[in-house]
Amino acid sequence: MTVVLIVALLTGAILFGIGIYGALSQTNLVMIMMGVELMLAGAMVNLVAFWRFLHPEAYSGQMFVLVVMTVMALEMAVGFGVAIARFRAKGSVEMEEAEDLKG
Amino acid sequence: MYAQAFFVAVFGLAAIGFGVVVFRTSSMVRSALALLFSQTAVGCMFLAMQTEFLGVLQIMMMATEMSIMAIFMVMFMMDPGGLGGMDMSHQKRFSIGAGVSAAVVAIAVALLSDWGPAAEQVADAEAQTRELGMELLGRSMMIFETAGITILTAMIAATAVAIPVKNLASKDDKEASE
Amino acid sequence: MTIAIVLLALFGSAWLLAVIEGWITTGRLSPAAPLYSGLAHLGRESILPRSPDRVFFEAAPVLLLVVAVLGMAVLPLAPDLVIADLGTGGLFINAALAYVLVAVIMAGWGPDGAYAMIGGWRFLGQLIAYSMLIVMPITAVAMRAESLVNTAIVGSQESLWNIVYQPLGFVLFFIAAMALAFRAPFDLPTAEGELGGGVDAEYTGVRLAVLRLARLTLVVTLASATTVFYLGGWYGPLLPPWAWSLIKTLAVAVSMLLAGRYLPRIREADLMRWCWVLGIPLALVNIIIVGLLILVVP
C-alpha cells in the first residue's frame, strides 16, 4: 500500500465528483459534455494509478487508458454533431428547452 | 517515493482546482481553457507516475480537443463572454448532492480497500512505449482495430448529422407548385 | 550548462533570423536592427484594450514563447547536446506545438477586439488543416528509426538522410511546419491585408516584443525539428556536429522565410481543401511507402 496510489485515487474520485456535478447541474449541452470529460479524466487517473502501482507488467492497463481517450474523442465528435443538428432545428441546445425529447 | 507523491499531489490539486473553475466562471472560453488546463494537469500526473507515453499523448490530444470545445461554446452559448452574468445551471442542490456522494463513495472505497503491495519499479519510458506497441498490435489488436473503426464510424455519423439538409424544402415547394 | 547552450543557440538563431529577415525585406544588412527595434518596443506605451480578458491577454505571448522553448528542449543539436532526451521525444514535440493553437486562441480572445478574435478562431481552422500533416510524416520518421527518441531518429539517418529516403514526407512536413508557425503564405491569423494584423493587432510595447520574439523562436524550433527529422541532424563532414545542426536549422528557417516572401497568401478554404484532399492521402501513401521500404530493404 503506498501513499502515491491513495493520492492518485483521491484525485480521481474528486474529479469524478466534480464531473457528476457539472453534468447534472449545467443546462447547456456543451457544458454537460465538459462534465462528462471530467468524469472520464478521473477514470483515467485511476486506471494509470492501478497500472503503475498494482500491475506494471500488464500493458493492457495502458491500453485501457487509450480506449478511454478514444471514447472522449468520440463523445466530442458525436456530441457536437448532435449539437449542430439540434441548434439548426431548434435554435438552441439548452436542456430546459428540450422538453420535446421526453417522448 | 515522497517526491513522486508530492508531484502527483500538486498536479492533482491543479487538476481539481481548474476542474472547479470550469463550472464557476461564466466566460465560456475561460471555462473551456480551464478544462484544458485541468486535463493537462492530469497528463502531468501521468508523467509524475512514470507513464510517459500516455502523459504526453493526453497533453497533446487535449490541447486540440478543448480548443474545439471552446469554439463550440462560443457558438452555442447565449452569453459566451460571460458579461451578462446569466445563471446557466439548474437543480443545483441535487447535483451537488450527487457529486459529493459519488466522490465520498469513491474515496471511501479507495481508503478502505486493501490494495496489497505496490510495485516499486517500472520499465523506463522507451521500453514502456515498445511494450505498449507490442500489446496494441499483438494481444489487444482486435480491440485497437475496433476502436479505429469506431472512430471512423463516429466521424462519418457526426458529419452526416451535422451537414445541413440542402434544398429539401425548396424542392418540396417546387413540386407543390408544379 | 546544456540548457544554457541550447537556449543561447535558440535565441542566437532567432536573432540571426531577424537580421536576415530584415535583409530580405529592406535590402540592408544591419546586425543591430533587432536590438534597436526591441529597445524601441520596450520604450513604447503598452496599451491595454478596453474590457480585455486580462489573464489570456497577458498569458498568450508568454505561453507562445514557452511552447517554442519547450519544443526545442527535446531536439538534439549534437549527440549529447540536448536538454531532455525523452523516451517519447517525437511525440513530445507534437504535444508542445499543439499549445501554439492555445496561445493564439488566447491572444485572439483576450483583447476583446473583432479582428483579433477572427484571427484566433481562424487559426483553429488552420490547425484542422495542418495538424495531420505534422503528425503523419513524424510517424513515418519514427517507423524508420524504430524509436521515438530524437537522438535515435537522427542516428537512423547516418547512412542516408530522411529527405532522400522519404522526400514526400519532407515536403508535407515542411509545408505543415510553415502553416504551424503561421508565416506567409499561411499567415491567416495575422493577415495584415485583410485583418489589420489579426492577433497581433491589439498588442503593443513589451507584449508585442515578446510576441514577435516568440514567433521567431517558433520558426527556429520548427526548422530545428525539420533538421532533426529529415536533414540528418548533426551529421556532416569536417565541421563539428553542433555547427552542422545550426547551419541546417538556419538554412531551413531562411528557406521558409523566402518561400513566404514569393508566394501569395492562401485562402482558408483552399488550405483546408488542399490539406485534406491532397495532403492527407499523400501522407498515408508516404507511410505505406516507408513501411514497404523498411520491410523490403534490409
The mean predicted confidence, pLDDT, of chain A is 88
Specify if B40 maps to a domain.
yes
Measured at the CA of B78, the angle between CA B74 and CA B81, to 5 degrees, comes to: 55
Q: What is the distance, to the nearest Å, from the Cα of residue B117 to the centroid of all Cα atoms in its chain?
A: 30
Tell me which amino acid residue A77 is.
Answer: A
The reply to whether B144 and B76 lie within a common domain is no
The reply to whether B144 and B75 lie within a common domain is no
Specify if B2 maps to a domain.
yes
Q: What is the ipTM of this complex?
A: 0.90
The mean predicted confidence, pLDDT, of chain B is 86
- Residue of chain C nearest B56, judged by CA positions: C92
The pLDDT value given to residue C248: 92
Given a cut of 60, whether residue B67 has pLDDT beyond it is yes
End position of a domain, from candidates B62, B82, B102: B82
Q: Is B65 on the interface with C (CB under 8 A)?
A: no
Do the Cβ atoms of C99 and B53 come within 8 Å? no
Disruptive mutation site among C50, C64, C66, C109 for chain B (greatest number of B CBs within 10 Å): C109
The pLDDT value given to residue B172: 57
Specify if B43 maps to a domain.
yes
Q: How confident is the model at residue B176 (pLDDT cuts 50, 70, 90)?
A: low
Do the Cβ atoms of B52 and C86 come within 8 Å? yes
Q: How confident is the model at residue B173 (pLDDT cuts 50, 70, 90)?
A: low
Specify if B133 maps to a domain.
yes
Q: Kindly list the residues from chain B whose CB atom is less than 8 angstroms away from the CB atom of residue A47.
A: none
Do the Cβ atoms of A54 and B121 come within 8 Å? no
Percent of chain B with pLDDT over 70: 93
Disruptive mutation site among B27, B29, B131 for chain C (greatest number of C CBs within 10 Å): B29
The pLDDT value given to residue A40: 94
The pLDDT value given to residue C170: 94
The reply to whether B143 and B75 lie within a common domain is no
Distance from C-alpha of A50 to C-alpha of C169, rounded to nearest angstrom: 39
The pLDDT value given to residue C21: 86
Do the Cβ atoms of C88 and B71 come within 8 Å? no
The pLDDT value given to residue A1: 54
Do the Cβ atoms of A3 and B2 come within 8 Å? yes
Number of domains in chain B: 2
Disruptive mutation site among A1, A45, A62 for chain B (greatest number of B CBs within 10 Å): A62
Of C196, C100, C94, nearest to C142 by C-alpha is C94
The pLDDT value given to residue B168: 60
Domains and CATH numbers, chain A: 3-92 (1.10.287.3510)
Q: Are C82 and C76 in contact (CB under 8 A)?
A: yes
Specify if B174 maps to a domain.
yes
The pLDDT value given to residue B103: 93
Distance from C-alpha of C25 to C-alpha of B156, rounded to nearest angstrom: 46
Q: Which of A82-91, B30-39, B97-106 has the lowest mean pLDDT?
A: A82-91
Structural domain for B136, as ranges? 124-178
| The length of chain B, given as a count of residues | 178
The pLDDT value given to residue B171: 56
Distance from C-alpha of A63 to C-alpha of A81, rounded to nearest angstrom: 27
The pLDDT value given to residue B175: 58
The pLDDT value given to residue C201: 84
Specify if B49 maps to a domain.
yes
Tell me which amino acid residue B38 is.
Answer: S
Do the Cβ atoms of B57 and C91 come within 8 Å? yes
Q: Is B165 on the interface with C (CB under 8 A)?
A: no
End position of a domain, from candidates B52, B82, B112: B82
The pLDDT value given to residue C202: 85
The pLDDT value given to residue B121: 83
The reply to whether B10 and B69 lie within a common domain is yes
Q: Do chains C and B touch (3 or more CB pairs under 8 A)?
A: yes
Facing A44 at nearest CB: one of B42, B139, B151: B42
Helix residue spans in chain C (DSSP H) = 2-26, 33-43, 54-73, 89-109, 114-145, 150-155, 162-165, 167-180, 192-195, 205-230, 241-262, 268-273, 280-296
Measured at the CA of B22, the angle between CA C203 and CA A21, to 5 degrees, comes to: 170
Distance from C-alpha of C29 to C-alpha of B174, rounded to nearest angstrom: 68
Q: Which chains touch C (3 or more CB pairs under 8 A)?
A: B
* Cβ count near C226 (within 10 Å): 23
Mean pLDDT by 10 residues, chain C (298 residues): 88 89 84 86 84 88 93 89 87 92 91 88 91 92 90 90 91 93 86 83 88 92 93 87 91 90 88 92 95 88
Disruptive mutation site among C85, C148, C150 for chain B (greatest number of B CBs within 10 Å): C148
Distance from C-alpha of B149 to C-alpha of C207, rounded to nearest angstrom: 46
Beta bridge partners of B89: A26
The pLDDT value given to residue B169: 59
Do the Cβ atoms of B30 and C102 come within 8 Å? no
| The length of chain C, given as a count of residues | 298
pLDDT, tens digit, for every residue of A15-62? 999 999 999 998 888 889 999 999 999 999 999 999 998 888 888 889
The reported pTM is: 0.90
Facing C95 at nearest CB: one of B29, B56, B129: B56
End position of a domain, from candidates B82, B115, B138: B82
Distance from C-alpha of C10 to C-alpha of C62, rounded to nearest angstrom: 16
Question: How close B33 comes to chain A (CA, Å)?
Answer: 11
Do the Cβ atoms of B119 and A24 come within 8 Å? no
